[in-house]
Chains A and B, each alone.
Chain A
Amino acid sequence: MNGVESVAQVFQTYMGTTMFLSIFWVCIIYVFCHGNGNGRKRLLFLLMLGILFLFNNLSLRVMGKLTDINTYYRFLWAIPILPLIAWAGTKTVMERKKFWERAVVVILLFALFRGGTSSFLTKDSVRVPANIYNMSEDVMRVCDIIEQDKKKEQPVVAFDLECQMMARLYNPSLVWGISRNAYQDYDNAEGYEGVKKSWRAQKSMIRAVNHGMKDDAERLSRALEKKQVDYIVTLNVYEMGDYLSQMGYGLVESTGNRSIYARTEE
């Protein structure tokens, strides 16, 4: 969760458009009304201690310094929202005989879904994968081509972003030529203004393989040399063949979407 500023904001982002938090509070009141003396005390103390130690802005900052503020939302997992709602729901449905009470629970459940906007079940999510790896067949083909062509046990490959995210899950012997941090921070076709010197080499590779830029041959050549890149995988639409051949990379094979270039000079 990026851009965390307050606990209220974390709760809001965590719950999204669902109504689970509101229903959770209703259930808390229900528990309080139905609990015995000690049960009520426990519940009150839990709420107070939870707010005192965890769910306040000071704790947010302290936890943020100890671990990572962007992962603070995981503390919200400690609140048993779904089990408590399910407990109350079960009591309402299974321990009551009246039809209207059962109907209320059903309506509440539909309300939680809010017409399906926060549901996992969408037209695109319920699908049968094309292969057992549930991966793009094009990426798998790229990995197979490099596997057959490689001269080193673990060749270094500069992948386009989509391919980079999947390639090592299919063939772990391929080593990334461009790091995760470089892709996360510098994935655009813009120039080098504001880019730290140590990142410029990787930035030049991203510009070429992921955006098809052909305006910086010298820097790219140095970057490929520095990172000892054995293969370059880029999209066919960029038509990088002539440009990369200047740097000593020749076409090995093309798939439906991508071309694989290998270092031809030693």
Chain B
Amino acid sequence: MQLAVCFAVLLLLGIEFGVFGVLSGRLFRLKFRLYETGIFGFFVYFGLFQMIALPLILLQRPFHELVVLWLVILAVINILAVVITRRELGSLLRTSVAGLWRNRGILLAAVILLVAFCCWFHGTQQYFGWDTTYYIGTVDTTVLTDSMYVYNGASGTISKTLDFRYALSTFYMHSAFLCKLTGLGGMLIQKFVIGTLCILMHGWIIFAIGRRVFPDAKKALFMVGLVFVMHLGFHTGFSPSDFLLIRAYEAKGFCANVVIPALFYAICCLWKDAQKREHWFLAFLVCFSSIPLSMSSLVIVPAMMVIYALAEWLTVRKWRILWRTFWCVLPNGIYFILYFMYTAGIRIAVMQS
């Protein structure tokens, strides 16, 4: 029963990413390819969640206020989507099914089975590290104490200050939101919903990269299969594969396997056409939502963006590339200043202590 609830939550999240992708595409007048809509929606979803949750965390408001507020926002967005983009949503569903049908065959079945095996493998791994106790502990403690980052997630003791190493990213608060909504514990939500989501999003983004470099969907599928086969053989404790197959439920897993490949995809798009608005929008959005997904993105994502943009600028010599890159890395720059202030000793005291 609990697994069935996890599966339903996963399905609902998938629908939400589609809704967010279609609606924001319409609002910002962006034309994305079919497989890009879900990726776009994923980053819009977490970016928006951060915009709602972060002020509440900094103000040390109770967790249930976030739950109510996010539910209201989700309801409004879904109603808006049904009213404004009903036709696009229907078309998205039809085209997705048609795309699957068109590519049916042994290759599609093999890739689906391989990805499903990786999801199962991740769900059955018995890894308990100190990070596990902190992250999953944070999710459970948030629900139990109705507070956000006021208590230490690992030990359950009250904190003296808000720990900006974690509190600037609202990723685990989203997991806590799912726990509150379903009544399931953090362990189950993280392992079976968030971990599986990480693996599926990783596969989806690799597919998108494949479609960008190969015009043929079958080749893109084969590429996804190869990447997953290689993941199964890249066991070193620090590799992205380790964070995909063992620790996909951690924010770091999302940084290594979703945020960074998505940024790489956006850069691939920019290499093809640096003038297209959609490509820059996607790059900005991935950077903007990188901290909401993981604090590990703090320096890696802007560094990656700057290096790729500089290489592009040196190749085509257009100043506009650097100007747009500046806007892409600006959100991470702001977070970095906040984090730097925290490490320098400027901290927000916990009010309950």
Contact = CB atoms under 8 A, between A and B. Distances in A.
B37 interface: no
Interface string B307-324: 110111011100000000
Contacts of A90: 210, 214, 219, 222-223, 226
Nearest to B259: A77
Interface stretch (A65-73, A214-222, A254-262): A65-73
B314 A113 contact: no
A58 to B, nearest CB: 14
Interface in B116-171: 121, 123-126, 128-130, 132-134, 136-137, 140-141, 143-144, 154-157
Contacts of A175: 155-157
Contacts of B157: 175-176
A83 B264 contact: yes
Contacts of A42: 271, 311-312, 315
Nearest to B252: A74
B256 A77 contact: yes
Contacts of A54: 303, 307
Among B121, B141, B271, B307, chain A packs the most CB atoms within 10 A around the CB of B307
Interface in A48-103: 49-50, 53-54, 63, 66-67, 71, 73-78, 80, 82-83, 85-87, 89-90, 93-95
Given A42-B311, A49-B310, A165-B128, A86 B137 contact: no
Give the interface residue-count category, chain A: 35 or more
A109 interface: yes
B260 A112 contact: no
Contacts of A18: 233-234, 236
A258 to B, nearest CB: 16
A93 B230 contact: no
Helix, strand, loop or mixed for chain A's interface?
helix
B21 interface: no
A246 interface: no
A166 B127 CA distance: 10
Contacts of B255: 74, 77
A260 B143 CA distance: 26
Contacts of B306: 53
Interface residues of B, number: 79
A121 B300 CA distance: 30
Contacts of B236: 13-16, 18, 118
A119 interface: yes
B297 to A, nearest CB: 9
Interface stretch (A122-130, A191-199, A231-239): A122-130
Nearest to A162: B128
Interface of B: 2-3, 121, 123-126, 128-130, 132-134, 136-137, 140-141, 143-144, 154-157, 185-188, 191, 206, 209-210, 213-214, 216, 218-219, 222-224, 226-227, 229-241, 245-246, 252, 255-256, 260-261, 264, 271, 296, 298-300, 303-304, 306-308, 310-312, 314-316, 340
6 contacts: A83-B206, A86-B224, A90-B226, A109-B226, A129-B124, A168-B140
Given A87-B213, A133-B188, 17 more contacts: A41-B314, A67-B298, A83-B223, A83-B227, A83-B264, A86-B206, A86-B226, A94-B214, A109-B229, A109-B230, A112-B233, A119-B233, A120-B241, A129-B126, A132-B188, A168-B155, A175-B155
